[in-house]
Amino acid sequence: MQLTRLRLDRFRGFEQAEWRPGPGFNLVLGENGAGKTSLLEAVHLLGHGRSFRGRVRDGLVRHGSPSLEVYAEWFDGQQRAHRAGMRHSGSSWEARLDGESVATLAELCAALAIVSFDPGSHELISGGAEHRRRFLDWTLFHVEPDFLETWRRFSRSLRQRNALLKTQPQERQLDAWDDELAEAGERLNALREQQVAQWEPLLFAELASSLPELGPPRLVFIPGWRRQERSLRVSLAAGRERDLALGYTASGPHRADWRVEFEGLPGRDGLSRGQTKLLALAATLSQAAQFAGGRDEWPIIALDDLGSELDREHQARVLSRLAATGAQLLMTGTEAPTGLEAAGISPAVFHVEHGRVGPA
């Protein structure tokens, strides 16, 4: 995929701005607070329905404005042109894709694929499990046609069961939702297990290049219940008393997680800050590679402030590998990442200043 045009209205510090990135590597330079990250956030918002820095209501709308607008044009892997726009007030939104209104943000997200790595991305490794679930599900959403319906069914039945648990329900009522939840949950889990198995060799290939010093990695998937011992249906029945006391469903695929272990390293706490970032980056780039394998085109790759996140050697290694893929890269920095020169890459350079994006 290749983003060709981005327009922002009342987005963070921007009153109105327009950017036309080129194919391949793009580097956006500017001082602290100029709006570099905001540009990447805007593309990410169209592709994920949220920013990598949180939800729209957490400050994406320009202070004093009722709503923001983001508009983008891009080519997909078959060189078909697309355009999409979104207006978002923080609580409500409307969006159009290729001239038609969209009913759910998922339609927009399905059309525009972007993976982002930013200074907050270490959370993928060291933060809460919801980051890691969302990460797994992003790939499934894009490469597995069954995923969205399965996920919706699972989420709906989980919501219903949780609501019912709070009402001193009859056994029969709970039985019905346990059946439904177990069926959708087993399916969701099977998709995730399959996804993890396909992702694993791609992740390990990235790690062999970026973190060889930690020794052979192991990827552990955690389904969210004791799956080795019991089906989800049996687990729900066994946990019913506890769930009734808690007022919610304590175990199931909504508690799924994954982690990477390295031989000779006791746990994720053993990783240095930089190693945690490298692991998060390896996860993100192998996720992009898995998308590319399933879809025959690369997602847009956004690297926010790479120069301050990784040392020169690691930057150069990552950038050389990305250059070989032909993926479009959107990078930012207060100055050019030293790894670009080391990798012999000359990006298209842009400058953000006084709320405008222009050629350097």
Ligand X SMILES: Nc1ncnc2c1ncn2[C@@H]1O[C@H](COP(=O)(O)OP(=O)(O)OP(=O)(O)O)[C@@H](O)[C@H]1O
Q: Kindly list the residues in this chain that would bind ligand X in the complex (CB under 6 A).
A: 12-13, 30, 32-38, 59, 61-63, 305, 334
For the chain, helix (H) and strand (E) counts, in that order, are 12, 14
Residue 162 annotated as lining a ligand binding site: no
Least distance between Mg ion and beta carbon 86 (Å) = 21
Instruction: Decide whether 137 or 309 has the Cβ nearer to Mg ion.
Output: 309
Query: Would you say 37 or 189 has its CB closer to Mg ion?
Result: 37
Residue 275: contacted member of Mg ion, ligand X, none (CB under 5 to 8 Å, by partner type): none
Is 100 part of any known ligand binding site? no
What is the smallest separation between the CB atom of 35 and Mg ion, expressed in angstroms? Answer: 8
Residue nearer to ligand X on the CB measure, 3 or 232: 3
Q: Coil, strand or helix: which one is 105? A: helix
**Helix 129-143 crosses helix 147-165 at what angle (to 10 degrees)?**
140
DSSP H helices, 296-357, are 306-309, 312-325, 338-342
The nearest distance, CB 348 to ligand X, in angstroms, is: 18
Six-digit token string for 270: 């053993």
Q: How big is the chain, counted in residues?
A: 360
Which token pair is 236?
Answer: 């729900």
- Choose among ligand X, Mg ion, none what residue 203 binds, the Cβ cut-off being 5 to 8 Å by kind: none
- At 220, the amino acid letter reads V
Choose the contact partner of 293 out of Mg ion, ligand X, none; CB within 5 to 8 A by kind: none
Residue 334 marked in a binding site:
no
Nearer to ligand X, 30 or 339 (CB): 30
**Taking the complex as a whole, how short is the minimal distance between the CB of residue 75 and ligand X, in angstroms?**
26
CA separation for the pair 276, 299 (Å, rounded): 23
Strand order in the sheet with 2-11: 14-19, 2-11, 68-75, 81-88, 93-97, 100-101
> At residue 302, what are phi and psi to the nearest 5 degrees?
-110, 125
User: Which of the choices Mg ion, ligand X, none does residue 178 contact, using the CB cut-off of 5 to 8 A by kind?
Assistant: none
For Mg ion, the closer CB: 140 or 280: 280
Q: How far is the CB of 42 from ligand X (least distance, A)?
A: 10
The site partner of 62 among ligand X, Mg ion, none (C-beta below 5 to 8 Å per kind) is ligand X
Residue 356 CB, shortest distance to ligand X, in Å, is: 13
Work out the number of other CB atoms within 10 angstroms of the CB of residue 327. 23
30 is in an annotated binding site: yes
Q: Tell me the residue nearest to Mg ion as measured from the CB.
A: 37
* Nearby residues of 331 by Cβ (< 8 Å), 6 or more positions away: 25, 26, 27, 28, 302, 303, 304, 306, 337, 347
CA angle 218/223/229 to nearest 5° reads 100
Spatial CB neighbours of 288, under 8 Å, sequence gap ≥ 6: 115, 298, 299, 301, 327
Out of ligand X, Mg ion, none, which partner does residue 50 contact, by CB within 5 to 8 A per kind?
Answer: none
Binding residue per annotation — 37? yes
CB of 331 to Mg ion, least distance (A): 11
For residues 57 and 218, which CB has a smaller minimum distance to ligand X in the complex?
A: 57
Residue 247 site contact among ligand X, Mg ion, none (CB < 5 to 8 Å, cut-off depends on kind): none
State which residue, 139 or 332, has the beta carbon closest to ligand X: 332
Which residues in this chain contact Mg ion in the complex, by CB under 5 A?
37
Radius of gyration over every alpha carbon of the chain, rounded to an integer in angstroms = 22
Separation of alpha carbons 329 and 27, rounded Å: 8
Is 31 annotated to bind a ligand? Reply is yes
| Residues that constitute the known binding site for ATP | 30-37
| Residues that constitute the known binding site | 30-37
